[in-house]
Structures are given as structure tokens and as C-alpha cells.
Amino acid sequence: MTLVAITPPDYQVAIDLRYATPANFTGKPVYARAEAFLHVDAARHLSRAIELAAALGLRFKIFDAFRPSEAQWKLWDFRPDPDFLADPRRGSPHSRGVAVDLTLVDAASGAELDMGTEFDAFTELSYHGSTEVGVEAQRNRHMLLGLMSAAGWDFYRREWWHYQLFESRRYPVLSDSVLAPGLMGAA
């Protein structure tokens, strides 16, 4: 299984891996390293999305990508909420290397576009189709959805930030041992 590092200059994205910091819903780092990886198939689709966004003066900021199965268990143990987290017994698309959590930023300033909620806001306000967020946030979510869909990504209706490859279950669940060194470390 080939995982590709998602780093500039090969991928013109900003990296803000929230699970490598305490700025996530657990309140403490889950990963020891703030590095993003995707399966080679997902990386190819991300490249296409990057091209489409660049034509509009936009870039992506990545909050999460490959999530080792060990990390999925940590998140699930903290908050076993099947509406917003995949049950690790079934496997997450993140743990298969074929999902990415991201937002749009202005390419010139780096400012995040308003999406109406923060990343990992586990409420109905995070749903793609929520009309309870402002009109600008709704437009930005639709733009993100359009860019990612045009690049071949599927979406999860309850999280505006989550995209995965179609038929993600055909990819195997991966543990931290596929990377050397792994993301988990002593976190």
C-alpha cells in the first residue's frame, strides 16, 4: 500500500493537522507528527482539486488525511458518536488513506473562507445542506463541494470538511506501522 506525503511543493496546500495539536475535540494531541499522507489514488484526486481551486485564486488547508487505525480508536474511545466518527471496527476511510478533511483559503492572503462552523463542530450546523449558517458560508461550502466533486471525491453529508474516494471500502484499513516513523509516536 503506497501512501504519498502531501507536502509543498508537490501539493500546494496549507497543512494544519489538528490531531497533532491540542486544538481538536479531545483537547490533546493524537498524532506525534504533523504530516499528511494519502493513498496514491486519493493524492491524484487531490492534485486535480488543487488545480481547480487555483484557477479561482483558492487553496486548500488540510486538517486531516491518513489516520492510522490506532488514532481512530483513540478518537472513538473519547467520543463514540457514529454520526461524526466511523466505528473503528468497520474502518474509517481516513484509516484507509482515502479521505481528507479540509477547507478553502484565499491563495493570496491565506485566510480561511467562512464555512459557518469550525472543523469538527459535531452539530447539525456542520451538515453540507444546513441553511442555519450564513449565506456566505453556504456559498463557500457549495464551492468546496463543487471543487471536490469535480475532482472525483465523494462527500459525507454531515461534515462540510470531509471528502473521501468513492468505494473507499475496497481499500484496506492501515495501521501506523505502514509509515516509518509512524504518526502516533508517543502521543
List, for residues 17-34, the tens digit of each pLDDT value: 999 999 999 999 999 999
pLDDT value at residue 85: 93
Residue 55 lies in a domain: yes
> Does residue 147 carry a pLDDT above 90?
yes
Q: Distance between CA atoms of 90 and 142, rounded to whole angstroms?
A: 29
Q: Is residue 129 part of a domain?
A: yes
Give pLDDT, residue 185.
Answer: 80
Mean predicted confidence (pLDDT) in 158-177: 96
Is the pLDDT confidence value at 118 over 90?
Answer: yes
pLDDT value at position 1? Answer: 57
- pLDDT tens by residue, 75-96: 999 999 999 999 999 999 999 9
Asked if the structure places residue 44 within a domain, the reply is yes
Average pLDDT score over residue span 2-11: 94
User: Hey, which residues are catalytic here?
Assistant: 159
Q: What is the mean pLDDT of residues 159-169?
A: 97
Please check whether residue 77 lies inside any domain of the structure. Answer: yes
What's the whole-number mean pLDDT along residues 88-115? 97
Confidence band of 151 (pLDDT split at 50, 70, 90): very high
186 occurs within a structural domain: no
Q: Is residue 184 part of a domain?
A: no
- Please give the pLDDT value at position 107: 97
pLDDT band at 187 (very low <50, low <70, confident <90, very high): very low
The pLDDT of residue 16 is above 60: yes
Number of domains, the chain: 1
Residues forming a β-bridge with 115: none
Report how far residue 122's alpha carbon sits from residue 67's, in angstroms, rounded to the nearest whole number.
18
State yes or no: pLDDT of 186 exceeds 70. Answer: no
Is 173 within the bounds of a domain? yes
Residue 38's CATH number: 3.30.1380.10
Q: Residue 187 falls within a domain, yes or no?
A: no
- CB–CB of 20/28 below 8 Å? no
Q: What is the span of the domain harbouring residue 91? A: 3-178
Share of residues in the chain with pLDDT > 70 (%): 98
With contact defined as beta carbons under 8 Å apart, do 142 and 134 qualify?
no
CA 52 distance to own-chain centroid: 18
